[in-house]
Amino acid sequence: MKSLNVKDDSIKNYIETFFKWIILADITGFTGGITGTLFHLSVDKATEFRLMNDWIILFLPAGGIAIAILYKLFKMNDSTGTNQIIDSIRTNGNVPIRLTPLIFISTVITHLFGGSAGREGAALQLGGSIGSFTGKIFNLDEKDMHLIILCGMSSVFSALFGTPLTATIFSMEVISVGVIYYSSLVPCLFSSLIAYTISAYLGIGPIHYTLNFIPETSFRTMALATILAAMCAGLSIVFCIAIHKTEYYMKHKIKNDYLRGFLGGLVVVVLTFTLGTRDYNGAGMDIIENAINGTTKPEAFLLKIIFTAITIGAGFKGGEIIPTFFIGSTFGCLIGGLLGMDPGFSAAIGLISLFCGVVNCPVASIILSIELFGSKGILLFAISCSVSYVLSGYYSLYSSQKIMYSKIKAEFININTK
């Protein structure tokens, strides 16, 4: 058995490393908290302006061209995104700082003109670039660069959503499914808490929903939660395939970035006016809240998949997690009602289950359920996460994510997700 190096295992080394990461995490958390808060406010203002002036959606095709121009000016490929952040943690830890203003502005443009996207993709990219830049300033080595990028991801995610524990575990868990970098626990947690404190101080409240009814844990409720989670696992595969295939075909059929942004935006505009509703433009936080309160349209989850796939495939920015919340909550509300569950609670189960299915992060998903809905009903949420995790297979929103261990047996597989 290989013995530990005495120097590496010394008390002095532990203390020095601990305080080094406390300081670095505080710096990263402060920067990420300020950036995340500004980003949150910017997206909210853009959304507010769009809701008060719904004619602005007509300029979504122009927004697609503007984003393509920005990426050309910054000399970045339009496919640069969360996958690059994930890759950087396994390779050289290099994330260009110019990604910060680029993804910030591009996401605001998407929300201003009514593209169907979230904001967590921007959060991870903003945080990753901030973390990488901080690491370069302090001349960190390659392994420490990996940790500082995780710190950055945690901080901005926490500032945006007000879920510091989820932000911490999600950043640690999403990179390599089955393997968690526990050395990043202290840095990510402190960075996340600092960012959360700053955002709260500046008036950004956490995302939290109050469930009107939470059933007792019984054989019946466990069985119904299992059935709903299994259906959400299947839907997670559909959503991942829709996102990836739409993006692939749009890029290969329309190679010109400007034209692709224009046509994608145009299709979203046409669909919006054809349906006669703005429910599927932007993040759709109000629709999520309605579902949690037990009200949804039967077609809502399917239309959100279509709108989001076209928006992301055309090159608009923001992310897919909030759309996942939308799709999962509306699907859960619909199916849960048919199964005889309380539609509001089943919407919550659907939201958490679909999130788990598309990101392959069961621990972060369980923690998310507590931060969003409280601890009551945790066993049903845990059952739902475990079922969705296993039955969602090796699909993911992030093609750079790796599945290190098989979901169905104790076997090391080390494969990329589909």
Q: Which of 40-44, 45-49, 127-131, 289-293 has the lowest mean pLDDT?
A: 127-131
Q: Beta strand 176-177 with 402-405: parallel, antiparallel or unpaired? A: parallel
Tens digit of pLDDT for each residue in 317-330? 988 899 999 999 99
Whole-angstrom distance, CA of residue 325 vs CA of residue 118: 9
Tens digit of pLDDT for each residue in 132-153? 889 999 999 888 888 999 999 9
Q: Which two tokens stand for residue 236?
A: 């997670």
Q: Which of 70-84, 173-187, 386-400 has the lowest mean pLDDT?
A: 70-84
pLDDT at 2 over 50: no
pLDDT for residue 418: 82
Confidence of residue 8 (pLDDT cuts 50, 70, 90): low
pLDDT at 400 over 60: yes
Q: Which of 143-152, 272-281, 340-349 has the lowest mean pLDDT?
A: 143-152
CA dihedral 167, 296, 273, 49 (to 10 degrees): -50
Tens digit of pLDDT for each residue in 195-239? 999 999 998 888 889 999 999 999 999 999 999 999 999 999 999
Q: Which two tokens stand for residue 201?
A: 């101080």
Q: Which two tokens stand for residue 195?
A: 């960012």
Q: What does pTM read for this prediction? A: 0.93
Task: Name all domains of the chain by residue range, CATH numbers in brackets.
Answer: 11-201 (1.10.3080.10), 219-416 (1.10.3080.10)
Whole-angstrom distance, CA of residue 324 vs CA of residue 304: 9
Which whole number is the average pLDDT over 7-25? 85
Q: Which two tokens stand for residue 58?
A: 């007509």
Q: What percent of the chain has pLDDT over 70?
A: 94
